Amino acid sequence: MDGVLADVYEQFFRLDEKTTGTRKTVASVVGILEHDAFQNGLQHVLSDGFFRTAPVMKDSQAILQQLNKHYEVFIVSSATEFPKSLAEKQAWLGEYFPFISWKQMVFCGSKTIIQADIMIDDHFKNLDYFNGETILFTQPHNQLADAGRHTRVNTWEEISKILL
């Protein structure tokens, strides 16, 4: 969800600009995990509304809606580390992805327990443990890394070309 459907970097850029008065460049955060790339990063994550008001990743709504017609889609989100995020994330999905039912939502800590055919994620720590086809969604923190056995995509358009 974060870094694939929810544009959490954009959320960080906006909150960081509010605090510091200047907007960071993408180049300045490349290769750094979100929490570390922004001043008070963890405080932003813990603040009310961080997940509820996150911008939606470009093209994700229309393409996921198509995928949802052809695949059995589950949204699996790391959420239990920040307990307040659970309700915010479910409400956010309800607003922007209303075609995803409660049966298709999974809020967890570790994703090693997930079994499926294809995983789209921005973190190696999730993809590396997954047995099926793995698609690495480019985000600043993984941009410099070798994708290894995973298929790297930079946009939802690219996901559409692979899966639809």
- Total Cβ atoms within 10 A of residue 86: 14
Which listed residue (81, 144, 146, 149) binds a second copy by CB under 8 A?
A: 81
The CA–CA distances, whole Å, from 95 to 56, 66, 79, 106, 130 equal: 11, 17, 18, 17, 29
Q: Which of 14, 65, 68, 74 binds a second copy (CB under 8 A)?
A: 74
Rounded to the nearest whole angstrom, what is the least distance from the CB of residue 82 to a second copy in the complex?
Answer: 8
Interior angle at CA 23, CA 19 and CA 29, nearest 5: 105
> What whole-number distance in Å separates Cα of residue 49 and Cα of residue 28?
25
* Nearest distance in Å: CB 16, a second copy: 26
Question: Looking at 28-36, 45-53, 108-116, 120-128, which segment touches a second copy (CB under 8 A)?
Answer: 108-116
Question: Are 35 and 86 within 8 A, CB to CB?
Answer: no
Residue for token pair 């639809």: 164
Across the strands, what pairs with 6? 2, 56
Which residues, 112 to 131, sit near a second copy by CB under 8 A? 113-116
105 binds a second copy (CB under 8 A): yes
If one asks whether residue 48 binds a second copy (CB under 8 A), the answer comes out as: no
Residue 71 found at the interface with a second copy (CB under 8 A): no
| Residues at the contact surface with a second copy, assessed by CB under 8 A | 74, 76, 79-81, 83-84, 86-87, 90-91, 101-110, 113-116
